[in-house]
Amino acid sequence: MVAEAPPASPQTTGLRRTVRTVTTAPLESIEDLALQRTSSGDAEVDRVLGGGWVPGAALLLAGEPGIGKSTLLLQLARHAVDAGRTVLYVAGEESLAQIKLRAERLGLAGGLVATRDVDARALADHLVRTSPDLVVVDSIQTLRADDEGIPGSLTQVRDGTALLTRAAKESDATLMLIGHVTKQGTIAGPKVVEHMVDATFSLESAAGYRVLRALKNRFGPAGEVGVFEMGDAGMAAVANPSAAFLAERPAGVPGSVVVAALEGQRPLLLEVQALASKSPYASPKRVVQGLDGRRVDVVLAVLERRMDLPLAGLDVFVNVAGGLRLTDPGADLAVALAVWSAVTNRPLPEDAAVVGEVGLAGEIRGVGQLARRVAEAQRVGFATVIGPRHPDLPGGGCRDLSEAVARVHAPAPAASR
């Protein structure tokens, strides 16, 4: 007779870990008080955040060394302290004396609590016990999740971020993490860090200004931008970014076109430049800065095929003046007219701004929030806006590239004697 063994208990199978009960709650029973936003104290930052700080949110800010990440967050810490909120600043890269010196220069007299402890487990426990309103960690590359780990390694960055993110959720603290970038401009560390956090922001330099851009945001629109100017007292918001970006635009130069772009929910006027020159190579060069190179290639192909513009023997250079990165497909028409102007050596009217997506058949397609783009262009002083057919456009707009070229076709400059 063979006796059968009793079935194994679920608590002792596999890795022999204890199975705990999962806590659940109906969604309608959750109070939404913790979801209320708190102003950061800076309207331009609030625009990029989507309305302000969210309790329990984990945010990541990345940028080049010296771009102003620590300065901006110290300013926001000052606003939080002035509003009576508790702030913890984790200084992993600077001494506390250096932090105090910069804080005093930015007008932060007191109320900021700082530490140089970069032990992620100890910091997470401190967050849960004290529940500060705002926590700034400078930077995640200095965190250490275990005693044997090397700060900056992939596992330490990943595990340290995970520990602090979970602690922020439990304590309703707003967690702001500073991250490094690689030589290619991407955020340093494992990609999973960007998935862990609720929002990812980048701080960039363009035309002498600082541009805060939302790359990912669970609490607001991605792609939103804020423009700042760095000064002795820190960063100050630029009141009129469109005029600032166009301040150095040359007048009457072929290849220069103003585009009514939309970054996030913000209309911006930017200058798109193009230059065409005879190529000494068998394969002409195509150099693009600030735009998607593949979209520019498509626009060039449409110009050659639909408009009979001879580009086969020309090197073509396309650039967004000032170094700003433009992701709006509505910049297609600006690229097309800038290249057309550069090749034919005929400038566009000074009071004209353009917007529109270009299709493969040469048609000009509609873009989002056209009325806001037109209003911004007219506010800055561009009376003529050329774009797709739409009642919001003066003159009704254009059907295709041929009509757009006819609208902006200025007479060729007279030859000098």
Distance CA 208, CA 139 (A): 25
> 114 Cβ partners below 8 Å, 6+ apart?
88, 89, 90, 91, 96, 99, 100
CATH no. for 36-239: 3.40.50.300
End-to-end CA distance of the chain: 118
Question: Is the pLDDT at 410 greater than 50, yes or no?
Answer: no
- The type of residue at 312 is A
Q: Are strands 266-278 and 314-320 parallel, antiparallel or unpaired?
A: antiparallel
- The type of residue at 383 is A
| Contact present, 160 and 121 (Cβ < 8 Å) | no
Strand, helix or coil for residue 342: helix
Distance CA 234, CA 74 (A): 9
Mean pLDDT for 190-200 is 94
Pick 214 or 189 by higher pLDDT: 214
Taking only the tens place, the pLDDT of each residue in 77-95 is: 999 999 999 999 999 999 9
Architecture of domain 243-408: 2-Layer Sandwich (3.30)
Pick 128 or 282 by higher pLDDT: 128
Half-sphere exposure of 90 (CA within 13 A, CB side): 27
Mean pLDDT for 204-215 is 92
Distance CA 164, CA 176 (A): 10
Task: List the domain boundaries for the chain.
Answer: 36-239, 243-408
Taking only the tens place, the pLDDT of each residue in 40-77 is: 999 999 999 999 999 999 999 999 999 999 999 999 99
In sequence order, what DSSP letters do the residues of 115-179 get, joined into one string? Answer: E---BHHHHHHHHHHH--SEEEEE-GGG-BSSTTPPTTSHHHHHHHHHHHHHHHHHHT-EEEEEE
| Contact present, 205 and 64 (Cβ < 8 Å) | yes
Taking only the tens place, the pLDDT of each residue in 312-350 is: 999 999 999 988 889 899 999 999 999 999 999 999 999
User: The whole model's pTM is what?
Assistant: 0.83
